[in-house]
Structure 1
Amino acid sequence: MVPEEVMKAVFPLLEGIDLASCMVVCKQWRDLARDDYFWKCLCAKKWPSLCKRPNPSILSYYKTLLPPRISFDDLEFFIDIWAENRLLFSEVVSGSVLQQGIKIPQSGVCEMLKYHMQGADFKMTLPVEPKFTIPSIQTETVSASVLVGRKDSNKVARIINKSMFEYIDRSSYRALAFEYLDISPAYPFVSGIRAWISLLFMEDGNEGAMDVFGIQVDFCDVANSKEEVLWLLDMLDWK
């Protein structure tokens, strides 16, 4: 664990892309690197006049300096859900659709799950229509694979690779699986970051089977905004 005093001395010396990369190392680095002081130092290097107003109108230097190099419009996601060797769901979804999410949950969705789905642009959610049913995980293994593709370069990167839904949170009606991301060798200090995929469901009353009405992907360990998700995706090992 690097002492916080050392990071506070080093972070003001970094370029914007390097400081953004530090934000996905771990929660401690993310919280520290989001300090507006470091981003003000970067703004002062590039646009000194921006920092000279006695009462600056900019509320956050962090949000001003470094827009992501990719957008959700540049991306498409390949999502496959399996029960053993049986394909339950297979779709190619544009990044803009996945980021838009589910605006109005359908009737029958529990209040805790509605709360989980609200107001978080770092959670990428896809409505599933028609719904599909997954069996009880005690009787069949259910797994997911997710790839992301870049339209500008025709390259792809892996997010989830046949990860099993081994945890069912019946209090919020979610089945969860995760995978550790493959980060580009250009970022050797970034590792151990998990991608999460959740199946959003309602009980169908049939021996623990679940009716899935939505699929959600997020990186909530380190990315808690739309911009942070895009920075993280940009650092994947694209091939």
Structure 2
Amino acid sequence: MAPEPALSRHLMQQGTELFRRALESVTDDQLAAPTALAGWTGKHVAAHVAANAEALGNLVRWARTGEETPMYSSPEQRNADIEAGATRPEADLRAWVDRSATALATGLDALTDEQWDRQVRTAQGRLVPATEIPWMRTREVMVHAVDLGGSVGYADLPLDFHAALLDDIVAKRSAAADGPALHLAPTDDERRWDVAGAGEPTTVNGPLSELAAYLSGRPATGLAVGGATADLPDLPRWL
């Protein structure tokens, strides 16, 4: 579930700048070190974000020309591109991140109204209008800006993004219904989210930013279960 297109494009721009800020905040040694993502260094994260921009550029080309251009030829090719990218020299990798982000933004800016409405296929196989491409990119740059372990944390991401991310993940988790039922009650926002799943819903309270971190499978702090300190329910993968 993507937010409305104008908000998605605005958040994508913000997320791109946050990722650049996070990348600038880590040294080359830190970039080569492991992250909280299993098996990935910061170089893997940066390579993934750069390769993602190019893959989404394929969808922009599809929207512009009407010729089917998948994001990746296969999941194996996607993984191989990330592994290869993670071996690049740090300076080359940083330049690739910047160059690919600029090219994607330029391509999106050139789409006409008709092209924005054209259907493209995500890496998960969903047919969506091209208007969803900015939101697909926003998720990547926002979440992975935090994964780099630099100066950007979940609390630094825009509140509009946290709410939109919860809308998106709640819809996906509820459709799959392969995890625990949850009732998410932010302590700093009046909105509430319910995740369909197994058992009676578990109420999780805490800051909106930390609820977004938890639901996206990232480390979260300051959350309470039913108003008390307790272990959070384990969640299956989101994407």
Fold match, TM over 0.5?
no
- Computing the radius of gyration from Cα coordinates, the structure with the larger value is 1
Q: Calculate the TM-score normalised by the size of structure 1.
A: 0.23
Q: Name the structure where helix makes up a greater proportion of residues.
A: 2
Q: Calculate the TM-score normalised by the size of structure 2.
A: 0.23
